[in-house]
Amino acid sequence: MKDMSCATYECEFCGLHYFDEDTAQSCLNWCVEHNSCNLEITATSVERTHKADDDNRNFSAATTELNQIE
């Protein structure tokens, strides 16, 4: 949630957010032209990179829980 308060740029077509305006514009251009997303572009979106952070945090939490049981 808090990461969304950072300055991000939204592709108005697919709704994904990007850290830089150029990438958001590239995504929008691609989305409008192809009516689908470019995986190489969406891989850099806030949603994708944020999801990776969540996965790492969950893994750390699981590891900590395991140590406490022992």
The footprint of Zn ion (CB under 5 A) covers: 11, 13-14, 27, 31
Please say which residue, 39 or 62, places its beta carbon nearer to Zn ion.
Answer: 39
Q: Which residue is nearest to Zn ion (CB)?
A: 11
Please say which residue, 31 or 46, places its beta carbon nearer to Zn ion.
Answer: 31
3-state secondary structure the chain: CHHHHCCCEECCCCCCEECCHHHHHHHHHHHHHHCCCCHHHHCCCHHHHHHHHHHHHHHHHHHHHHHHHC
Please say which residue, 32 or 61, places its beta carbon nearer to Zn ion.
Answer: 32
